């Protein structure tokens, strides 16, 4: 039976719906409208991103990582009126994150949540901004091919929401969004900058297409006038604010993280490369650099303006510009090119190869790649689809984004692979699996359409796909991605003992315990790091600039692995023993029978994270009794009152020393080293487990030292204390610092 011309035209424009009735058709139209609705997309992205970044943020990650705490200490300097554009501590860090944290401290107090909430909000905004960027990158194609009335979907319409949902459920991005360090602001500023840039490009292209003849005439006139005329005209154009906004975010990114300095370089390199390709293809007028030259000039002028305060600081402190990079740069290696090649391979493989991800517990579930296997396959399909269209500016932009922002990890080779240094590829890298999903759906749609006896209009851009099939396929890929992220982050990484240890769970437990309990007497806190930044922030509210000047007369720091402080006679004390510096054999023996365990806080694996031991005032410190041959004064604040040999855990002799203190010595915060000699033998050992600023008037402490002795331990040793710069601690009776000490 032959069809009429009108029937053929109707069939050409509308896919066959089989036996669908009017109600089913209306349902399809409603589904089509919902799937195309930007408000639906935004609500879904906001819900998913917010859930993954805010749920249980008070307990995962546990504790507070030292790098987070250091940023918090700088934020307290900001609140104390000592804010800066750049903070030199910890190898130097750009300062804007500290100002944000300071504001959060002001709002909710000095707690871990105040450090992590800005990152979580930045992560949520990044997901929403990724959707915006996707809309701008696919705008031309969507405008050419969308046809909602006939249920013909422009599949590129779904690149933006799928990419944003991939980012919203990304283990990598979720990890850094719940982590109170500044790196997560790099992708936020980057995606906002590039979305604004493409918005400006799209607006300019629309104006060109709407009034081509008029603009050509104006261009001829302007070309005969001065550059100032061109610039003034560009400033008045409606797209110019978007170029300026792009420059603002590119400049702002440099105030957060060092790797962000590559963003302006990448954008400039892309524009040059795209211009070269356009000229080589005989389409010189399509070069973005030529079409939007003055908008791009405005963009980079704003970048320079926003970066200027930081630039002035670097001019005044030239070492700060490359302080961190100088510690990790590849050019310090004996074979820099080989090392760079190894880093490049490792940092690319961490995206796709199982077991090849970042091994650092701070930044990843060790070995986990960025993409799970299914997402990795889809990402590679997406890369192939982009390579097929590499001459198109949007495709070229995404293809060059990935290697350009991987470059910092190729140059900094102290460790690899590394996730923090490649944060700049986010969110560009999540467009790869999104495009892969769309490519697979398009291929399946063409396959299904070709196998049925129905009239279907197909071309490169448009294919008839059932809304139900589209939702099922895209949702399946995203749900698998989200489920694996949930399992790996919330069930594997977050509750693990390794994460608890990495995020200083014992120091956070000490802060919480002191906040809810009343300790007896003087408090002695054992830690593997002197004045641990996590506790100094949460418990002491110290600042970086006053870190070692800060005094708490009721608290002293020590390391229970090699020392044990004791209160003055007749006074009680409370020991907080962190798992990172647990009581060793000698310390445990000294407290055994005298101290009383008051509390114990358990780590995830059931081991003690924090042990609280109370020493009653009636306890006697026998080892600090003065012997007949001692005491020996080592300066005004310290007196040796006992010395003896003891057997270590392996049976080897250890030197145990008992000391009395006359009070704190704030100038001695770097600690001392102990030099031991006998005959022609000598050795220098650490003596900073209980440092001078922590000493208590009338109190004392015991230290024990493993010595590399040959033969029987001598009965007499010569001892002297050395300052951090190697000078001996002298006294009137020991001008060279040496003291003859009998050992019992």
Higher pLDDT, 715 or 120: 120
pLDDT of residue 450 exceeding 90, the answer is: no
Q: 127-139 pLDDT, tens per residue? A: 999 999 999 998 8
User: Can you give the pLDDT at residue 587?
Assistant: 83
Any residues with CB less than 8 A from the CB of 646 and at least 6 apart, and which? 586, 653, 654, 655, 656, 704
Residue 428 lies in a domain: yes
Higher pLDDT, 458 or 618: 618
d(CA 488, CA 495): 10
Total residues found in the chain within this entry: 744
pLDDT of residue 456 exceeding 70, the answer is: no
pLDDT of residue 12 exceeding 80, the answer is: no
Same domain, 627 and 598: no
Between 256-265, 442-451, 517-526, 679-688, the lowest mean confidence (pLDDT) is in: 442-451
Residue 17 lies in a domain: no
pLDDT of residue 493 exceeding 90, the answer is: yes
Higher pLDDT, 383 or 467: 383
Same domain, 647 and 591: no
d(CA 16, CA 10): 10
d(CA 727, CA 670): 13
CB atoms within 10 A of CB 725: 6
Residue 390 lies in a domain: yes
pLDDT of residue 77 exceeding 80, the answer is: yes
* Mean per-residue pLDDT, 59-75: 93
Instruction: Give 116-121's long-range contacts (Cβ < 8 A, gap of 24+).
Output: 116/57, 116/68, 116/178, 116/179, 116/180, 117/57, 118/180, 119/176, 119/177, 119/178, 119/179, 119/180, 119/181, 119/184, 119/185, 120/53, 120/54, 120/57, 120/177, 120/178
In the beta sheet, which residues pair with residue 718? 677, 740
Nearest C-alpha neighbor of 442 from the set 371, 382, 372, 375: 382
Helices (H) and strands (E) in the chain, counts: 27, 18
Residue 15 lies in a domain: no
Nearest C-alpha neighbor of 197 from the set 268, 160, 241, 246: 246
Same domain, 627 and 609: no
Residue 61 lies in a domain: no
Average pLDDT of the chain is: 84
Q: 512-524 pLDDT, tens per residue? A: 999 999 999 999 9
Residue 5 lies in a domain: no
Q: 537-554: b or e for each residue (b if 16 or more CB lie within 10 Å)?
A: bbbbbbbbbebbeeeeee
**Domain-ending residue, one of 561, 596, 615:** 615
Peptide bond into 61 cis (omega under 30): yes
DSSP label at 718? E
User: Can you give the pLDDT at residue 464?
Assistant: 53
Tokens of 555: 């608290």
* Mean per-residue pLDDT, 181-193: 95
* Mean per-residue pLDDT, 222-231: 50
CATH number at residue 638: 2.60.40
User: Can you give the pLDDT at residue 626?
Assistant: 66
Positive or negative torsion for Cα 236, 239, 245, 249: negative
Q: 251-271 pLDDT, tens per residue? A: 999 999 888 899 999 999 999
Any residues with CB less than 8 A from the CB of 104 and at least 6 apart, and which? 114, 115, 117, 118
Same domain, 487 and 515: no
User: Can you give the pLDDT at residue 336?
Assistant: 73
Same domain, 400 and 464: yes
Higher pLDDT, 726 or 575: 575
Q: Which helix (H) or strand (E) holds 480?
A: helix 467-486
Between 74-78, 486-490, 619-623, the lowest mean confidence (pLDDT) is in: 619-623
Nearest C-alpha neighbor of 49 from the set 165, 183, 148: 165
Phi, psi of 684 (to 5 degrees): -110, 130
Q: 317-348 pLDDT, tens per residue? A: 887 766 665 555 555 566 778 888 888 899 99
Share of the chain above pLDDT 90, in %: 52
Same domain, 519 and 655: no
* Mean per-residue pLDDT, 215-226: 45
* Mean per-residue pLDDT, 146-158: 54
Higher pLDDT, 389 or 538: 538
Region class of 151: left (phi > 0), else alpha (psi between -120 and 50), else beta: left
Share of the chain above pLDDT 70, in %: 84
Report residue 622's pLDDT band, with 50, 70 and 90 as the boundaries.
Answer: confident
Q: Find the angle CA(348)-CA(175)-CA(78) to the nearest 5 degrees.
A: 115
- Decide if 145 contacts 455 (C-beta within 8 A): no
**Domain-ending residue, one of 552, 581, 615:** 615
Higher pLDDT, 143 or 393: 393
Same domain, 441 and 557: no
d(CA 6, CA 366): 63
- Decide if 117 contacts 278 (C-beta within 8 A): no
Same domain, 515 and 476: no
Same domain, 362 and 380: yes
Same domain, 583 and 641: no
Q: 533-564 pLDDT, tens per residue? A: 999 999 999 998 888 888 899 999 999 999 99
Query: What are the C-alpha distances in Å from 338 to residues 327, 334, 353, 404?
Result: 18, 9, 21, 19
In the beta sheet, which residues pair with residue 126? none
pLDDT of residue 362 exceeding 70, the answer is: yes
Tokens of 128: 């929403």
Total count of domains within the chain? 3
Phi, psi of 647 (to 5 degrees): -90, 130
Higher pLDDT, 553 or 455: 553
pLDDT of residue 237 exceeding 90, the answer is: no
d(CA 205, CA 198): 10
Q: Find the angle CA(239)-CA(163)-CA(197) to the nearest 5 degrees.
A: 15
Same domain, 356 and 268: yes
Report residue 160's pLDDT band, with 50, 70 and 90 as the boundaries.
Answer: very high
* Mean per-residue pLDDT, 187-194: 96
pLDDT of residue 454 exceeding 60, the answer is: no
d(CA 535, CA 512): 10
- Decide if 159 contacts 134 (C-beta within 8 A): yes
Residue 705 lies in a domain: yes
Residue 653 lies in a domain: yes
Any residues with CB less than 8 A from the CB of 514 and at least 6 apart, and which? 523, 539, 576
User: Can you give the pLDDT at residue 105?
Assistant: 96
Tokens of 361: 């517990």
Which range marks the domain in which residue 643 is found?
Answer: 623-742
Same domain, 657 and 724: yes
User: Can you give the pLDDT at residue 570?
Assistant: 87
User: Can you give the pLDDT at residue 234?
Assistant: 54
Higher pLDDT, 429 or 444: 429
């Amino acid at each position: 039976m032959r069809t009429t011309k009108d029937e053929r035209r109707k069939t050409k424009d509308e896919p066959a719906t089989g036996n669908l009735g009017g109600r089913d058709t209306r349902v399809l139209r409603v589904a089509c409208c919902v799937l195309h609705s930007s408000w639906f997309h935004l609500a879904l992205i906001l819900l998913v991103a917010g859930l993954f970044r805010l749920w249980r943020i008070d307990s995962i990650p546990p504790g507070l990582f030292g790098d987070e705490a250091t940023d918090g200490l700088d934020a307290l300097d900001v609140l104390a009126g000592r804010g800066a554009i750049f903070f030199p501590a910890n190898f130097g860090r750009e300062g804007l994150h500290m100002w944000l944290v300071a504001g959060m401290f002001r709002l909710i107090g000095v707690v871990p949540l105040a450090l992590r909430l800005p990152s979580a909000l930045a992560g949520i905004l990044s997901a929403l901004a990724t959707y915006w960027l996707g809309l701008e990158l696919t705008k031309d194609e969507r405008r050419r091919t969308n046809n909602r009335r006939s249920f013909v979907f422009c599949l590129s319409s779904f690149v933006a929401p799928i990419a944003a949902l991939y980012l919203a459920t990304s283990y990598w991005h979720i990890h850094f969004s719940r982590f109170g360090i500044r790196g997560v602001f790099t992708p936020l500023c980057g995606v906002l900058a590039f979305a604004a840039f493409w918005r400006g490009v799209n607006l300019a292209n629309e104006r060109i297409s709407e009034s081509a003849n008029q603009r050509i005439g104006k261009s001829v006139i302007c070309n005969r006038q001065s550059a100032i005329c061109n610039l003034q005209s560009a400033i008045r154009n409606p797209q110019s604010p978007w170029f300026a906004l792009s420059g603002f975010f590119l400049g702002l990114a440099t105030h957060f993280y060092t790797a962000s300095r590559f963003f302006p370089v990448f954008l400039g390199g892309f524009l040059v490369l795209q211009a070269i390709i356009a000229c080589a293809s005989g389409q010189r007028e399509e070069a973005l650099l030529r079409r939007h030259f003055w908008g791009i000039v405005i963009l980079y002028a704003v970048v320079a303006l926003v970066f200027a305060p930081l630039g002035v600081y670097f001019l005044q402190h030239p070492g700060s510009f490359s302080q961190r990079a100088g510690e990790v740069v590849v050019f310090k290696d004996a074979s820099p090119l080989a090392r760079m090649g190894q880093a490049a391979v490792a940092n690319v493989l961490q995206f796709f190869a199982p077991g090849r991800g970042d091994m650092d517990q701070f930044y990843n579930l060790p070995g986990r790649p960025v993409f799970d296997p299914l997402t990795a396959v889809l990402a590679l399909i997406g890369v192939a689809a982009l390579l097929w269209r590499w001459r198109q500016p949007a495709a070229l932009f995404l293809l060059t984004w990935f290697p350009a922002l991987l470059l910092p990890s190729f140059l900094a080779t102290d460790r690899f692979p590394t996730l923090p240094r490649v944060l700049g590829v986010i969110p560009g890298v999540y467009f790869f699996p999104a495009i892969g999903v769309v490519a697979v759906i398009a291929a399946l749609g063409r396959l299904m359409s070709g196998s049925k006896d129905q009239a279907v209009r197909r071309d490169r851009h448009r294919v008839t796909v059932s809304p139900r099939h589209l939702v099922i396929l895209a949702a399946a890929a995203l749900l698998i991605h989200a489920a694996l992220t949930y399992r790996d982050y919330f069930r594997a990484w977050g509750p693990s003992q390794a994460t608890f240890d990495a995020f200083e769970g014992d120091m956070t437990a000490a802060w919480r315990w002191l906040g809810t309990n009343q300790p007896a007497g003087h408090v002695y806190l054992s830690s593997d790091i002197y004045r641990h930044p996590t506790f100094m922030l949460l418990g002491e509210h110290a600042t970086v600039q006053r870190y070692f000047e800060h005094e708490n007369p009721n608290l002293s720091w020590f390391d229970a692995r090699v020392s044990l402080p004791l209160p003055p006679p007749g006074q009680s004390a409370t020991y907080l023993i962190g798992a990172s510096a647990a009581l060793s054999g000698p310390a445990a023996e000294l407290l055994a029978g005298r101290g009383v365990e008051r509390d114990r806080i358990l780590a995830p694996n059931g081991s003690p994270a924090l042990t609280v031991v109370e020493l009653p005032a009636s306890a006697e410190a026998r080892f600090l009794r003065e012997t007949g041959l001692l005491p020996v004064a080592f300066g005004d604040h310290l007196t040796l009152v006992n010395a003896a040999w003891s057997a270590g855990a392996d049976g080897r002799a250890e030197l145990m020393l008992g000391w009395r203190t006359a009070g704190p010595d704030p100038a001695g915060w770097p600690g001392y080293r102990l030099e031991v000699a006998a005959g022609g033998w000598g050795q220098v050992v650490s003596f900073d487990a209980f440092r001078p600023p922590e000493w208590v008037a009338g109190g004392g402490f015991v230290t024990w030292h493993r010595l590399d002795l040959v033969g029987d331990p001598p009965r007499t040793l010569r001892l002297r204390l050395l300052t951090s710069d190697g000078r001996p601690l002298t006294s009137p009776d020991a001008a060279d610092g040496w003291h003859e000490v009998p050992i019992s």
